[in-house]
Amino acid sequence: MTPEKISNLLNINCQAHPDINFYHYGYESDIHINIKNNFTGDNSRGKKYPSLLFEFPSESWNLERSGAAAVMRGLLVFNDTQYYNREDGSNNSRSILEIQTALQKTALEVVLEFNRLGRTFGGREVLGITAVNNVIYAANLRADRLIEVVLDVSINYFLECSSFVADIGALDPPFNVLPPEAGDYELK
């Protein structure tokens, strides 16, 4: 599994969800940009809400056992507009609490479906959001007056096996043998 495949799995999950109108993998500042993707086409549709942003994650690898495992930790940022509809600019009378509750419901649905798809991806259990470490609720954010529900998630998965094998004997001397225990090759 790769970060690209994880993002693609989130993306198709969002494509299928009736309450999400936009998905993006990137920086939180990208929320201000009309990004060309499979939701907005050639950028003629503008920013769409509710949306999900998968902010660039961090990752740790466990290489001690066979089948290298990884844990990716990142933020899933669910957004919607506060007191207006982005499509037509009309007023939206739902309260902040009502919108946060709707975003929380959507977030839970996305996480549970991501895990269901991840368990069947490739015919074996390969990934899943194993923890929601923290949930943050916020409102009146950024230029678009957004309401957010932010999930700090841990995604467990297996790294794809490497086919790389170092052919030491094919290198030019003195690099064609394993290095001695002492001495610095960079000085030669």
Residue range 22-51, pLDDT digits in tens: 888 888 877 766 666 655 555 555 578 899
Asked whether residue 188 carries a pLDDT value surpassing 60, the answer given is no
Q: What is the DSSP letter of 2?
A: -
Say how many C-beta atoms besides its own lie within 10 A of residue 60's C-beta: 10
Quick check: 175 pLDDT over 70?
Answer: yes
Cβ atoms of residues 160 and 2 within 8 Å: yes
Separation of alpha carbons 150 and 83, rounded Å: 19
Angle at 129 between CA 128 and CA 134, to 5 degrees: 175
Residues 179, 183, 185, CA angle at the centre, nearest 5°? 65
Which of 5-19, 105-119, 165-179 shows the lowest per-residue confidence on average (mean pLDDT)?
Answer: 165-179
Whether the predicted pLDDT of 90 surpasses 70: yes
Distances (CA, A) of 136 to 39, 86, 93, 105, 132: 26, 23, 23, 14, 11
Q: How far apart are CA 48 and CA 38, in angstroms?
A: 12
pTM of the model: 0.80
How far apart are the C-alpha atoms of 147 and 103, rounded to whole Å?
9
Neighbours of 97 (CB within 10 A): 11
Average pLDDT on 70-74 reads 91
What does the pLDDT read at residue 42?
A: 59
| Predicted pLDDT at 84 | 77
Please, which residues bridge with residue 54 across strands? 25, 76
Is pLDDT larger for residue 42 or for residue 175? Answer: 175
Residue 35's identity, in one-letter code, is: I
Query: Of 17, 10, 4, whose CA–CA distance to 128 is shortest?
Result: 10
pLDDT band for position 152 (50/70/90)? very high
Residue type, 56: F
User: 24-59 in b/e burial notation, b at 16+ Cβ within 10 A?
Assistant: bbeebeebeeebeeebbeeeeeebebbbbbbbebee
Which residue has better confidence, 43 or 101?
101
> Is 131:154 a contact under the CB 8 Å cutoff?
yes
